[in-house]
Amino acid sequence: MQGATEIRIPWYSISNFLIMVTSLSMSVFVFIKGPKTKANKIWVILTFCVALYGFGAYMASISEDMPAAFFWWQVAHIGVILIPVLFMHFVSAFLDIRRYSLIRLKIPYVMSFVFLILNIFRRDLFLVRMNLFFEDSKLFKPSYWSYPGSVWYYFFIIFFFLGLAMIWAHIDLFRGYRKATGLTRYQLKYFFPASLLAFIGGATSFLPCFNIEIYPVFNITVAFYPLIMGYAIVKYRLMDIRVAITRTGIFVVVYTLVLGIPFSVSFFGRRWLMVNFGQNWGFPPLILLTILASIGPFLYIYFQRRAETIILRKQRAYQETLKQAARELSRIHNLKKLLNLITHIVTKTVGITHAAIYLLEEESQDFVLKATRNKKNKTLPMLINKESLLIEWLKNHREILVYEEIHRKAYEGSVVVLKELDNQMKSLDASIIVPGFIKEKLLGFLILGDKRLGEFYTPQDLDTLSVIANQAALAIENATLYENMEEEVKQRTEELIETQRQLVQAEKLATVGTLAGGVAHEINNPLTAVLTNVQMLLADSAKLDTETKESLELIEEATKRCRMIVQKLMTYAKKPLETAIITEINLLEVVEKVVDFLRYQFLQDNVKIDIQAKEKKYRVKANFNEMEQVVTNLLLNARDAIKQIKKQGQINISLHKTDTEVSLEVKDDGCGISKEIISKIFDPFFTTKDVGKGTGLGLSICHSIVEKYKGVIAVQSEPTKGSTFVVQLPGVESNK
């Protein structure tokens, strides 16, 4: 008989043992990590109570006598009594359910407390007797099992009530799951079935209390519960624990083995052990336990490292790629290219649906959409106002915004600000928003869509993205500076080219002038000979026949024209034959004198001259004769321009002055100047007049004279409508 009982073991002790190990690990783990939220704190107590239940039930199952079993069942029931109400509380805290707290939490707590008191101080009322369980079974080892005492009336009602609360909590969980989106939904996807399974499985082990003799092993589901939750935490950051929970997993596995192997050996090999070791059969498992317990920590550390290497290898490779790419960013100086590259790198490496970049616009301080990727069908706002909540939030918090977190917080706490932020993120189609800072300045932000595989952004992702964002911000700042610099260089170069062009032009004019001046002088002597002789011959005209006389007259005329050209050339070359006396002169006087001189001639040409001057004095520092020459040239040109296209016309001369400047405007309604030649009109020898009618020096001389007095001459013209020449000269003090 002895042998027959030996192979019968209390199987349910195994499930209770596992419940104890997994739940305790979970409780300790979360406790060590410092639970931050209310839900996490309750979670620690809840899992501890579950572990207590497992511990008590396990101890009871291996108790050899009734008083011991009685005691352990009493211990187990401390956990059992508290589990329903704590679970209810945890669900309420997790989903932030606040209504009906009286019947959901307060009454259950009070009842559980009363029940607890009874369990501890009047156990005779609670668990009235211990029976040997499955005494006649050949498969199971009989063990002492508790049966309801006199209080079980109430106990039953309350237990049923608490059972209802558990069902209610699950309904809430399921509702929460249906309602939730994203992260919470994913978390609940694991949370809900795991706890439901645990609850049902756990409940079956109490059926024997009601004389329903189902062997109590189905509460093994309770042991899986923390494992499933652990997985959900790793994958979906359930409960805000930002540490790889693989450590817990490894811890659980290692210590399950450390404790489980000797335990199993003593269970299953007890017969063999007794045969070989007799009374000391317990030693080998004990030695094994000692050995395993000693190498346990080493195993734990070894596996932890291995696991971390494996997990981190992927993480590191991916982070390395990103960081390397980020370093490359600083080499690109073209802003547009850079922005495109950033979105490209992030979308490719992280594997996300879409990305967009908004950058600070210095002038308005608003944020402007600068680059998008895979966002063709959806429209993003081109501009995000500097006063918008999103910008304020990013500036104040300086952290990556995660839509799931904002969304959850927004609806858990019903915070208006968060709801608005939630809406704004939704409208931007953003899963996360990564701000990029340069010192204290928010330079821009990166909007990222969902991960392609439907995964969630891990804390490492967020850290890496943060680094990338700041590196990108630096690169963007560089590129912007570089572009501004390039722009400036470009502008300067253009200015330089313009200056150079002007210099070349001036140089050209000066060279032409010098050259012409020299040539002119050389020509003067031969011209003297020609003119003297031809006039000498003409002096005796009585002796000449008509033809000879005509020829000589032509020679004389031609020579005189040559003389005129040479004189003009010499003026242009700034080598006037007479000394130019520079004094303060009144430009209006110059104009009036020239107009008086030309008026009669112009009247014959049907050209009217009108002078407009509001004041009497327009003083400049110049030579009177030279200014006369300027005005004369301008008027003659104006007349010629009019005569080109019509029989009568009008020339308007107007004078203006400011504190520093005097200007003269000569406006005609003549033929105008075409765009092709307008840049050449101040060049020497450039003329549109017929051969012999103009020397092409008039305007060059004007230009040369005006320039000499540090003035400017400019022209505005519209073909067929007329031209306006403006001469600006520095004013003198007496003008003020």
Partner 1 sequence: MAKNILVIDDDGMVTKSLCRLLEKSGFSTETSENGVDAIELIKNTHIDMIIADIRLPGINGVETVKKIKEIIKGKHKHDVPVIFITGYSDAQINAEAQTMGDLILKPFDNQKILEKINSYI
Binding site for partner 1 (CB under 8 A): 517, 520-521, 523-533, 535-536, 539, 559, 563, 567, 570, 573, 575-580
Give the shortest CB-576-to-partner 1 separation in angstroms: 6
Distance of CA 642 to the CA centre of its chain: 64
| 425 close to 391: Cβ distance less than 8 angstroms | no
> In angstroms, rounded to a whole number, what is the distance separating the alpha carbons of residues 365 and 359?
9
Q: How many Cα atoms sit within 13 Å of 185 on the Cβ side?
A: 10
Give the shortest CB-701-to-partner 1 separation in angstroms: 14
Across the strands, what pairs with 652? 610, 667
Closest CB to partner 1 among residues 383, 544 = 544
Q: Which residue has the tokens 């805000």?
A: 240
Cα separation values, 577 from 513, 521, 567, 704, Å: 15, 11, 8, 15
Closest CB to partner 1 among residues 395, 575 = 575
| 391 close to 367: Cβ distance less than 8 angstroms | yes
> In angstroms, rounded to a whole number, what is the distance separating the alpha carbons of residues 493 and 283?
94
Give the shortest CB-530-to-partner 1 separation in angstroms: 7
| 265 close to 285: Cβ distance less than 8 angstroms | yes
Give the shortest CB-539-to-partner 1 separation in angstroms: 7
End-to-end CA distance of the chain: 135
Closest CB to partner 1 among residues 288, 558 = 558
SS3 category, 375: coil
Residue 138 carries which DSSP code? Answer: S
Closest CB to partner 1 among residues 323, 575 = 575
Give the shortest CB-490-to-partner 1 separation in angstroms: 45
Cα separation values, 377 from 86, 354, 706, Å: 49, 11, 63
Give the shortest CB-551-to-partner 1 separation in angstroms: 18
Closest CB to partner 1 among residues 351, 526 = 526
Query: How much of the chain is in helix, strand and coil states, percent to nearest 5?
Result: 65, 15, 20
In one-letter notation, the amino acid at residue 683 is: D
Token pair in block for residue 353 = 């649906």
- Give the phi and the psi of residue 310 in degrees, each rounded to 5: -65, -50
600-614 burial code (b ≥16 CB/10 A, e <16): eebeeeebebeeebe
> In angstroms, rounded to a whole number, what is the distance separating the alpha carbons of residues 251 and 258?
10
Q: Which residue has the tokens 């009602």?
A: 157
Closest CB to partner 1 among residues 576, 730 = 576
Give the shortest CB-621-to-partner 1 separation in angstroms: 18
Helix ranges restricted to H, 436-545? 459-539
Return the closest-CA partner of residue 665 out of 593, 608, 587, 718.
587
Total residue length of the chain: 736
Give the shortest CB-672-to-partner 1 separation in angstroms: 35
Give the shortest CB-520-to-partner 1 separation in angstroms: 8
Closest CB to partner 1 among residues 150, 528 = 528
Closest CB to partner 1 among residues 413, 526 = 526
- Give the phi and the psi of residue 356 in degrees, each rounded to 5: -150, 155
Give the shortest CB-544-to-partner 1 separation in angstroms: 15
Give the shortest CB-569-to-partner 1 separation in angstroms: 10
Token pair in block for residue 148 = 């309801």
Q: How many Cα atoms sit within 13 Å of 479 on the Cβ side?
A: 23
Give the shortest CB-592-to-partner 1 separation in angstroms: 27
Give the shortest CB-731-to-partner 1 separation in angstroms: 26
Closest CB to partner 1 among residues 139, 582 = 582
Cβ count within 10 A of residue 636 = 16
Closest CB to partner 1 among residues 442, 570 = 570
Closest CB to partner 1 among residues 506, 564 = 564
Return the closest-CA partner of residue 146 out of 116, 121, 126.
126
Closest CB to partner 1 among residues 342, 697 = 697
Closest CB to partner 1 among residues 28, 555 = 555
| 732 close to 619: Cβ distance less than 8 angstroms | yes
Closest CB to partner 1 among residues 274, 519 = 519
- Give the phi and the psi of residue 430 in degrees, each rounded to 5: -105, 125
- Total H helices, total E strands in the chain: 22, 15
